[in-house]
């Protein structure tokens, strides 16, 4: 099983969980997207391991790393910057999406660096 997390700042701001400009002085949209990705990745990977689900949480395939590429991908499940071609039950997929939203909250609420 595999879950891909979007790492494209443009998509994350236009369609994803980063609903407002949360860049701080000295940052770029790409560096904020990386902060989001790191937090979402770690939270989701830990949750899946705790549930005993053997699943890799990864960067997208290279052809899905652009805004257009991610947006046009026909994942089996997709939400809040996560996408998969694998089968998840509704509860586990809901948790994955919730972790993506939580990662956006963490990025939005962090102190100026």
Q: Is residue 99 a contact partner of residue 44, using CB atoms and an 8 Å limit? A: yes
Interval 55-110: pLDDT, tens: 999 999 999 999 999 999 999 999 999 999 999 999 999 999 999 999 999 999 88
Query: What pLDDT is stored for residue 42 in this prediction?
Result: 98
Query: What pLDDT is stored for residue 113 in this prediction?
Result: 45
Say how far apart CA 5 and CA 20 lie, in whole Å: 19
Task: Calculate the CA 81 to chain-centre distance.
Answer: 4
What average pLDDT does the chain have?
A: 94
Number of domains in the chain: 1
**Structural domain that includes position 83:** 2-109
Interval 11-35: pLDDT, tens: 999 999 997 778 888 899 999 999 9
pTM of the model: 0.93
Q: Dihedral, CA atoms, 69, 63, 89, 56, nearest 10 degrees?
A: -140
Q: Is residue 11 a contact partner of residue 71, using CB atoms and an 8 Å limit? A: yes
Task: Calculate the CA 54 to chain-centre distance.
Answer: 18
Mean pLDDT (whole number) for 33-46: 97
């Amino acid at each position: 099983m595999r879950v891909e997390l979007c790492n494209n700042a443009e998509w994350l701001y236009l369609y994803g969980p980063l609903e407002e400009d949360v860049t701080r002085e000295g940052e770029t949209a790409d560096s904020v997207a990386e902060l989001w990705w790191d937090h979402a990745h770690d939270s989701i990977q830990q949750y899946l391991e705790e549930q005993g689900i053997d699943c890799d949480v990864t960067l997208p395939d290279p052809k899905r790393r652009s805004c257009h590429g991610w947006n046009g991908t026909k994942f089996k499940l997709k939400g809040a910057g996560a996408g998969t071609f694998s089968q998840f039950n509704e509860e586990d997929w809901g948790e994955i999406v919730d972790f993506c939203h939580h990662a956006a909250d963490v990025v939005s609420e962090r102190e100026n660096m």
